[in-house]
Amino acid sequence: GIQVEQSPPDLILQEGANSTLRCNFSDSVNNLQWFHQNPWGQLINLFYIPSGTKQNGRLSATTVATERYSLLYISSSQTTDSGVYFCAVVAGTASKLTFGTGTRLQVTL
């Protein structure tokens, strides 16, 4: 099946810093989503982005489908951005999401 790799696995930032999280996938996809899991365990949709670029406030995402990667940008990070960020994809004719193992982000004061 499709492989989804995320980097870095862990990231520590000071409040106000910017960061880029990467998601590489091994096959063509028709669905790619970014999720944030907050420290209380809730999974929250950030973006549905199988291709192109989207922005939502301080967060933006870009997927280059032909090169099989997606990037999540966090600008001016805040402590509330802490948690784990997951990339998940649906490949080809599959009907289910395959998740990466996530990037754990800690934003400190």
Residues that bind other proteins (CB under 8 A): 1, 30-31, 33, 35, 41-45, 48, 50, 86, 88, 90, 94-102
Q: Kindly tell me which of 59 and 90 has the beta carbon lying closer to other proteins.
A: 90
Query: Would you say 89 and 73 are in contact if contact means Cβ atoms under 8 Å apart?
Result: no
Q: Kindly tell me which of 25 and 86 has the beta carbon lying closer to other proteins.
A: 86
- Using DSSP's 3-state secondary structure scheme, residue 81 falls into helix
CB of 20 to other proteins, least distance (A): 20
Q: Kindly tell me which of 16 and 43 has the beta carbon lying closer to other proteins.
A: 43
CB of 58 to other proteins, least distance (A): 20
End-to-end CA distance of the chain: 41
Could you tell me whether strands 10-14 and 19-25 are parallel, antiparallel, or unpaired per DSSP bridges? unpaired
Q: Kindly tell me which of 33 and 70 has the beta carbon lying closer to other proteins.
A: 33
Cα–Cα distance measured from residue 25 to residue 31, given in angstroms and rounded to the nearest whole number: 12
* CA 87 to mean position of chain CA atoms: 4
CB of 90 to other proteins, least distance (A): 5
